[in-house]
Structure 1
Amino acid sequence: MSRRSRVNTESTDAELDMTPMLDVVFILLIFFIVTSVFVKEPGTEIFRPEAALTEGQKPSMLVAVTSADEIWVNRNVYELSQLRGVFEQMRQENPLAKAMIQGDAEAPIGTVLDVQELLMDMGIDVHVSTQEP
């Protein structure tokens, strides 16, 4: 006579439902993408002039004027005549945009002032970046 065990020894295939875990992962991914802050850089290194008073600004537009009289916006070089279209496009993306001009200490002051005047004519709040002495 054979004895039967009371314990079920047959293995059953147990499957885990991964859908809730994937939902949580995608929700976290979306959260981090939406809340991240991207640093904007003009695309070139600027040696700013020194000033006694500086304020902490967080502009959404960065414009750099180099000592070689180049105007950099979003890692691209533009002529002064092309800037209005570039600024209008950036303004459409962010209507409350504020601009910061980073003029090299050796940059022609006329170019910096022309860029500042263009931004002011478009109604964009603009500041010129300096560094503390």
Structure 2
Amino acid sequence: MRMRRHHQQDEDTGIDLTPMLDVVFIMLIFFIVTSSFIKESGVEVQRPQAQTASPQDKGNILIAITADGQVWMDKKVVDVRSVRAHVERMRVDQPDGAVVVQADQDVRTGLVVQVMDQARLAGVQDVALAATSGAL
């Protein structure tokens, strides 16, 4: 009497997913490193219109001033006297970034000048006012 032996396959016939996972993680790291994050001031203001308005293409530090005189930076209300310290802190991340002041069209001019002065005292030479392009 002969005994039959069943040969079990020792190999796993499944698909090895390790190379695919490696590629996915490398692509994820690539997209995280190359993506640029848009910083917002935290509040929407009604900007004045100007015929000579031009878009800014480099990374910016945004400061918004509402019609009622609130100064917004990094999605929170700040005091005018602390704008300098906030700009200095944000310049660590963007050393060559410009400051863009997004002032509401109904805000007091004196407050806008104070904010721009604080940004200049923080060492930023390129301070711009945001406007909507269009006819006056």
TM value normalised by structure 1: 0.86
Task: In structure 1, list runs of 5 or more residues that go unmatched.
Answer: 1-7
The runs of 4+ residues in structure 1 deviating greater than 3 Å are: 8-12
Q: Distance in 1 between matches of 2:106 and 2:60?
A: 25
The share of aligned pairs that are identical, in percent, is: 37
Deviation at 1:17, TM superposition (A): 2.7
**Partners of 1:53 and 1:99 in 2: CA distance:** 18
Whole-angstrom CA distance in 1 between matches of 2:12 and 2:132: 67
| Structure 1 equivalent of residue 68 of structure 2 | 68
User: Could you tell me how far apart the structure 1 residues matched to 2:93 and 2:61 are?
Assistant: 11
Q: Which residue of 2 aligns with 1:98?
A: 98
Distance 1:122 1:47 in 2: 26
Deviation at 1:9, TM superposition (A): 8.4
Partner of 2:128: 127
Amino acid of the structure 1 residue aligned with 2:47: R
For normalisation by structure 2, the TM-score amounts to 0.84
* Residues 26-65 of structure 1 deviation map (CA, whole Å, 9 limit, x = unaligned): 0000111111122221111110111120111134201000
> Partner amino acid for 2:100?
M
Confirm or deny: 8 A CA contact 2:80 2:115 kept in the other structure: yes
Stretch deviating more after TM superposition (20-29 or 34-43): 34-43
Give the deviation of 1:106 after TM superposition. 0.6
Q: How does 1:1-133 map to 2 (within 5 A)?
A: 12-58=11-57, 59-124=59-124, 125-132=126-133, 133=135
CA contact (8 A) 2:85 2:122 kept: no
Long gaps (5+) in structure 2: 1-5
